[in-house]
Amino acid sequence: MGPLQSKTPFFAVSLFCDRYCCCFLLLLLLVSGRNGYYVGADSPLTAISHDLYRSSGTLLDEVRALVGRHPEQLTVTVVTYSRSRRDIGNSTFRVLLSFGQHGRELITSEVALRLLYALSEETKVPGVDPTYLDRVLDDLVIKVVPMENLNGRKLVESGELCERRNGRGVDLNRNWSVDWGKKEQDFDPYEENPGTAPFSEPEAQIMQKLAESFSPHVWVNVHSGMEGLFMPYDHKNSTPGGSKFWAMKSILEEVNRRHCHGRCIVGSGGGSVGYLAHGTSTDYMYDILRVPISFTFEIYGDLEAPSKDCFRMFNPVDAVTFSSVVNEWCAAFLLMFEIAPRRLGDTDGGRVSGDYGDSSGGMISESGGVAALRGGGAKVEGIELGLQELKTYFRLFMMSTVVLMFMFCTRISRNRSRQTKFGPLPL
């Protein structure tokens, strides 16, 4: 793994509540070169619905406002290293959620932001009892990465609506080490560029460091492009064996029944999407970091959209559908927070083992930052971790505002995405 070559900051927000529930809002602001994504001018394309979707700047303003509304609970600090104030015991259940890995999937970041509001108890999720939320979040640590791929998102906002890659033209969901670089017969060198080596991209390096230090029990990579709930593997048409398979399968089936209303495809990514994907983050989490519950969620897709009409294909374009997707998937995550510890505990003889990871509950190496909701006085702390050039890497810089990032990853059926030379790919 080479050094990070970023000249812009990497930020995080911490929220501390009267429970061990931590929302970690990591931001990857990583500047690099890029190639434009071609979209034919002969097709009518759906533009970004600015009345529904926040720009990255507007979203950051909302985070600042959230901090301002809670001056007794939130502070903003610039650090190069952060550790939670109180150790989290091995019995604490840890969840890592990733949004915005692919730039064109704006809806995933909207779900991340709404989930943050729900966890902060500023917004109610329709159909969810607040007392239920309190019970679910007890003794739970949640890290949320709202937007991994900010540079790719910026390209989409500038008009390159089909862009899924990062600013250097690399697909971040092909840049992980499990089966990296393998090319299927229908490999698309433009959309699926895996980079020059595993973890060649700063975003992937940062996410790997975060996951390794946090050691979650549950990992979910959230995308759009279709409706599906996937477990490993992406790089082969098979699922894991043993008790973990049954735990993952039962969780996905219940989420599908209650919040996808039976529409979602459930199974392995490689066996369900219609093609194999090599070098994905979910396969790495399961195989290398041994995260026992590793998922990819595909939360929305318009399969009737033309292949070049990427915004419509990956994002709801009307207010009713937008609201339904955001609310339904927030409720789905709350359901997962409730049932995952129990299902995993069933595979461990009725207990949740700390062997899946450390108990630091938020120690991030030099490339990360943390945000945590925790008990004992309800001190909410926003942490912005600046990633500068290597020569200034460990230097405290200036007080700054809190920035969010959204992570998108795309998933849509391969045969659909291959309709044109520049057609979008799923996963």
Residue 171 included in any domain = yes
Q: What is each CA distance from 287 to 87, 235, 292, 306, 323, in whole angstroms?
A: 27, 11, 9, 36, 35
CA distance linking residue 92 with residue 359, whole number of Å: 8
Report whether the peptide linkage leading into residue 53 is cis, meaning its omega lies within 30 degrees of zero: no
pLDDT, tens digit, 9 for 90 and up, residues 3-52? 333 333 344 443 443 444 444 444 443 333 334 334 444 557 899 999 99
- Residue 2, in any domain of the structure: no
How many residues are listed for the chain in this entry? 427
pLDDT at 140: 85
Residue 31 CB contacts under 8 Å (≥ 6 apart), including other chains: 6, 7, 8, 151, 167
- Asked if residue 368 is part of any domain, the answer here is yes
Of the candidates 403, 362, 366, the residue with the CA atom closest to the CA atom of residue 384: 403
- Asked whether residue 222 carries a pLDDT value surpassing 90, the answer given is yes
> What tokens does 39 get?
């979209």
Residue 88: per-residue pLDDT: 55
Region 220-249: what's the mean pLDDT? 96
Does 72 fall in a domain? yes
Nearest to 297 by CA among 244, 259, 346: 259
Of the listed 110, 191, 201, 298, which one is catalytic? 298
Report if residue 27 sits inside a domain. yes
- 253 pLDDT higher than 90: yes
| 325's tokens | 């997707």
Is residue 409 predicted with pLDDT exceeding 70? Answer: no
Helices 242-259 and 319-347, packing angle to 10 deg: 150
How would residue 58 be classed by pLDDT, with cut points 50, 70 and 90? confident
Domain that holds residue 249: 12-417
pLDDT, position 48 = 94
User: Is 110 annotated as catalytic?
Assistant: no
Token pair, residue 251, equals 């969780």
Per residue in 374-388, pLDDT (tens digit) is: 332 222 222 333 333
Query: What's the pTM?
Result: 0.75
CATH code where residue 119 lies = 3.40.630.10
Per-residue model confidence (pLDDT) at position 401? 31
Q: Is the distance from CB of 337 to CB of 136 less than 8 angstroms?
A: yes
- What tens digit of pLDDT does each residue of 149-198 get? 989 999 999 999 999 999 999 999 999 999 999 998 888 888 999 999 99
Q: Is 297 among the domain residues?
A: yes
Helices then strands (H, E): number in the chain? 11, 10
Using an 8 Å Cβ cutoff, are 97 and 144 in contact? Answer: yes
Domains: count for the chain:
1
Q: Is the pLDDT of residue 416 over 60?
A: no
- Measured CA to CA, the distance from residue 288 to residue 320 in angstroms comes to 41
Task: List, for residues 268-305, the tens digit of each pLDDT value.
Answer: 999 998 889 999 999 999 999 999 999 999 999 999 99
Residue 400's contacts (CB-CB under 8 Å, 6 or more residues apart) are 9, 11, 76, 78, 384, 386
- b/e 293-320 (16+ beta carbons within 10 angstroms → b): bbbbbbbbbbeebbbbbbbbbbbbbeee
The residue among 185, 367, 207 whose CA lies nearest residue 282 is: 207
Q: Report yes or no on 423 lying in a domain.
A: no
238 part of a folded domain: yes
Q: Is the pLDDT of residue 405 over 90?
A: no
- Report the distance separating Cα 426 and Cα 226, nearest Å: 8
